[in-house]
Amino acid sequence: MKIAVLLPEGFEEIEAMTIIDILRRGKQDVTVIALGDITVKSAQNVRVIADLTLEAVNFQDYGMLVMPGGPGADNYLGHDKVKEAAKEFLNNPDKLIGAICAAPNILGQWNLMNGRKVTVYPTMEVRGAEIVKRKAIMDGNLITGAGPGAAADFALLLLLKITDAEVVRELRDRMIFQ
C-alpha cells in the first residue's frame, strides 16, 4: 500500500519521523509530502527534505494518508487539496487516514468527524467527535493518536491495519518496545 505522510511547516518531528521510520521498517511504501517547499522546517527547527511537494502529488495513488501534528498543524488549514483528500479518504472504506496530536482537531475544523471516536492532544477538542483518552485508537478507517509520546503506538497501529500481526510483533521486539 502506498502511504502519504504530510509535513506542514512546524510539524512535530517525533511524530513524523517515528511514523515514517516504523512504516518503512515494516516494508511499506511511504512518500513524505511537503505542503510548501520541498525542505520543511519542524517545530524544533529541524529541516527535512520531503520526497514530493503537495502540488506534485496525486492522492488517488495512495491507500493511506497520515497527518502528523504539532504546533504547525494549523498550516493544514490553508490547503484545500489536503482537506479534499482527507474527506475522500474518510468516506472511502478501502482507504485509511491517520491523524495524531493536533491533526485530529484539523479534521474537526473541516467538519469531517461525524461522531467518530478519536484521541487528540490532551488540551484540544475535536468538533463533531467523541474524545477517548487513549494513546491511539481506530474508528472505522480513521486512526488517531494523542501526541508525541504516543507516536510509536500510533505508527504500530497504522502498520497493524495494513500488514500481518506477526510483522508488527517482530518489529516491536527488534525496536525494544514493551
State the catalytic residues: 101
Answer whether 100's CB lies under 8 Å from 73's CB: no
DSSP label at residue 59: G
Could you tell me which residues come within 8 angstroms of residue 103 by beta carbon, excluding any fewer than 6 positions away?
67, 68, 69, 73, 76
**Distance between CA atoms of 146 and 20, rounded to whole angstroms?**
17
Cell numbers 481506530 correspond to what residue? 138
Answer whether 100's CB lies under 8 Å from 146's CB: yes
Could you tell me which residues come within 8 angstroms of residue 166 by beta carbon, excluding any fewer than 6 positions away?
none
